[in-house]
Amino acid sequence: MAKIDDVARLAKVSKGTVSNVFSQKRRTSQEVTDRVMKVSRQLNYVPNHIARSLVTKKTMAIGLTIPHGNFFFSAFHNQFINGVILEAAYYGYRVLLDMIPVQKVKTPFLSSYPIDGAIVMSPAIDDERINLMHQGQIPFVTVGRVMNANINHTSSVDSDNLMIIYSICKYLIDKGHRNIMFLNANELMTVSIDRKAGFIKAMEDYHIELEEHMIHHKPAILSSEYMDYGYEETIRTLGKFEKKVTAIIADDDRTAFSVMNAIKDLELRVPEDVSLFVICGDLSMMYQSNPSLTSMDLQPSELGVQAVKMLMHKLDVLPGYFPENIWVESKIIERDSCSSIS
Amino acid sequence: MAKIDDVARLAKVSKGTVSNVFSQKRRTSQEVTDRVMKVSRQLNYVPNHIARSLVTKKTMAIGLTIPHGNFFFSAFHNQFINGVILEAAYYGYRVLLDMIPVQKVKTPFLSSYPIDGAIVMSPAIDDERINLMHQGQIPFVTVGRVMNANINHTSSVDSDNLMIIYSICKYLIDKGHRNIMFLNANELMTVSIDRKAGFIKAMEDYHIELEEHMIHHKPAILSSEYMDYGYEETIRTLGKFEKKVTAIIADDDRTAFSVMNAIKDLELRVPEDVSLFVICGDLSMMYQSNPSLTSMDLQPSELGVQAVKMLMHKLDVLPGYFPENIWVESKIIERDSCSSIS
DNA sequence: TTGTACGCGTTATCAT
DNA sequence: ATGATAACGCGTACAA
């Protein structure tokens, strides 16, 4: 593999000049530029990214940490990642997929992270990843609210989770539902806190008594119940316990499908017997399932784009003013899975 | 940020020793190790990954190139990526998500790729990415067969695509179907070649005349028809053209859902009027859609794992013998979307 | 264990 | 304004 000195020698210029030709940090005469480029092509030379990083202290990569060993992306993750990769590429950055807390990092082998910044997806309460970023001095933005002790000002992109659930409840209550079951995210995810609060507030505002079977939390990832989330809760609550639930709010598309399956097994129908509302989800799945699913569109791709922009701003790539927190709008998409009851 | 010299000075050892304490390449006495670690903690020192890479010539990252700007992963991509990340993490490698050919790289800014190797997903015919890897001397393995002029021996992990489609056709034909429509992958994907061949062979072996409406190819990504693939073809063929198709083979879960939607709009039913067979797909979706979908499980996660193992072998991380090509088994999962006709 | 020569560009400083 | 020179970044590895 040819190096800068080889090119310099053959092109009869100094290595500094070759460097400038490639980095464009200083102008070089057309004549010299051509000569250098020609020799470079001959030698198949490209600057060594590592050597460059060593001095510029930029790796041109950002980390994207996906939730602790969550092996199964939902449509939300999917679209979010797409947004991130595309927007990062726009600024010349690549994306390193990361799963920090899957296994404990062995200290002796720890080495500083070769990324310029990071995006932390779906923070948990006292999220270890965030402590690591923080103490490692790595600029980062989170997607979702941070709730770590001792960490106050963090940049984040988020949906207005409290309001989202509140709106969904209002939507269902306006349709006459008073017995709503909410399949929330995992308890440790900060998002679940705000959503739970929104649910409780809605129940209070509409004078509906809160019962235990109305809120469930997604089991821990990798637990045996994880894959069945939605199915079991529905069977148990509507079947065995005979609660008169008339509407179900599902955390994501996967959960929603589990719920539909349970409803089918209970010999009930959507939406005649039970209304089903999905938070986010795969567009084509939402539309093309039977019935099509009414959902709250969280705009995951836009969340990804905004997260990258915010990070680029922190890295001084993107100038201008940025607020500490950005909210991405979400809106209800009415389809056929929610009906009115009298 | 503290550097190795600072630690060396304070711990009263040479930098070489500090290096050894962290890299474990040579033993250091317990006493010295403790002293070095203590000072390192005080100074919050961690070895600089970039500087280390410069000399070891290893970045401990592999690239994963996902199909040209395919913004929407199917379940296959999803599970595949999961397999890759997990297996790579096992060997201490991180995964850089890559989308090389989305936009042309501007030559002057080109710099050598900071990865030790790469996994190329879903190669196309004369795939530019593979030419790049090849001339860039980057060890790589593909998932899917390579069909580039002048490139002969490449390591790859693959399913037996010809056999897969042949088996599916046999499965359907055994159920009495003789009018099968195949929604193939995009024409430029090498996988579509083998699958088409499998389809044609099956028709020949069972003496079924091949008609034009029986094979379709997924439109180019980003084309306006892309998102509608499956829907339009079904409506047109079964509706407008009134072809008596009794069974449809869909390329992936997304396509399958589009087909189901079209069938619904044509006021037909699955499987009573039309049988539907899906190649791979999201497990919970397959199971929980209505009816549950009979599918060919390609084991995408296992494909990812094998691809990483193969790459690790190429990088001399994993010893032993590896064949040039690995086939991952796939098998039919019978569910409720295919019925017999008399 | 220690000393020290690398690895490979970048960038400030100097010269033209 | 452009080109050349040399110091520098931060570890690793090998000889002493």
Q: Convert the pLDDT of each residue in B81-112 to its tens digit.
A: 888 988 998 898 989 987 654 444 433 345 67
What gap in Å lies between CA B209 and CA B202, rounded to an integer?
10
Question: For residue range B197-248, what is the model confidence (pLDDT) as tens digits?
Answer: 999 999 999 999 999 999 999 988 767 777 788 999 999 999 988 888 999 9
Give me the pLDDT at residue B284, please.
63
Q: Which residue of B has its CA nearest to A2?
A: B112
Would the CB atoms of B95 and A97 count as touching at under 8 Å?
yes
Provide the CB-side half-sphere exposure for A298 (13 A, CA). 31
Q: Which of residues 6-45 of A touch strand D (CB under 7 A)?
A: 12-17, 20, 26-29, 31-32
What is the pTM assigned to this prediction? 0.89
B163 shares contact with chain A (CB less than 8 Å): no
Residue A45 per-residue DSSP state: -
Interface mutation target, options B64, B94, B100, B222, chain A, most CBs of A under 10 Å: B94
Give me the pLDDT at residue B72, please.
62
A9/C8 CA-to-C1' distance in Å: 15
Say which range, B228-232, B313-317, B336-340, has the weakest mean pLDDT. B228-232
Question: Which residues sit opposite A221 in a β-bridge?
Answer: none
What gap in Å lies between CA B23 and CA B235, rounded to an integer?
62
Nearest by Cα to A157 from A142, A139, A147:
A142
Confidence of residue B137 (pLDDT cuts 50, 70, 90): confident
Helices A75-90, A300-314: crossing angle, 10 deg rounding: 40
Reply yes or no on whether the pLDDT at B59 is more than 60.
yes
Would the CB atoms of A72 and B86 count as touching at under 8 Å?
no
Question: Which residues sit opposite A295 in a β-bridge?
Answer: A278, A333
Q: Which residue of B has its CA nearest to A57?
A: B50
Nearest by Cα to B24 from B43, B47, B3:
B47
The amino acid sitting at B209 is E
Nucleic strand C under 7 Å from the C-beta of B27: yes
Give me the pLDDT at residue B68, please.
57
Nucleic strand C under 7 Å from the C-beta of B26: yes
Give me the pLDDT at residue B81, please.
87
Chain C positions under 7 Å from a protein CB? 1-4, 6-12
- Give the rounded percent of residues in chain B with a pLDDT score beyond 90: 57
Mean confidence (pLDDT) of chain B: 88
Stretches in chain A below the pLDDT threshold 70:
68-73, 99-111, 222, 283-289
Helices B30-43, B4-11: crossing angle, 10 deg rounding: 130
Q: Is the peptide bond before B271 cis (omega within 30 degrees of 0)?
A: yes
Which protein residue lies nearest to nucleotide D2, measured between its Cα and the C1' atom? Answer: A28
Would the CB atoms of A258 and B288 count as touching at under 8 Å?
yes
Give me the pLDDT at residue A75, please.
76
Backbone angles phi, psi at A41, to 5 degrees: -65, -45
- Of the candidates B86, B137, B257, which has its C-beta nearest A288's C-beta? B257
Question: A289 near A321, Cβ under 8 Å?
Answer: no
Helix (H) or strand (E) holding A85: helix A75-90
Nearest by Cα to B330 from B157, B160, B185:
B160
| Mean per-residue pLDDT, B309-336 | 95
* Selected residue with higher pLDDT from B126 and A240: B126
Give me the pLDDT at residue A144, please.
96
Backbone angles phi, psi at B178, to 5 degrees: -130, 0
Give me the pLDDT at residue A194, please.
97
Nearest by Cα to A291 from A307, A269, A312:
A269
Would the CB atoms of B49 and A109 count as touching at under 8 Å?
no
CA–CA distances in Å: residue B321 to residues B137, B140, B325: 22, 17, 12
Question: A90 near A318, Cβ under 8 Å?
Answer: no
The amino acid sitting at B16 is G
Confidence of residue B286 (pLDDT cuts 50, 70, 90): low
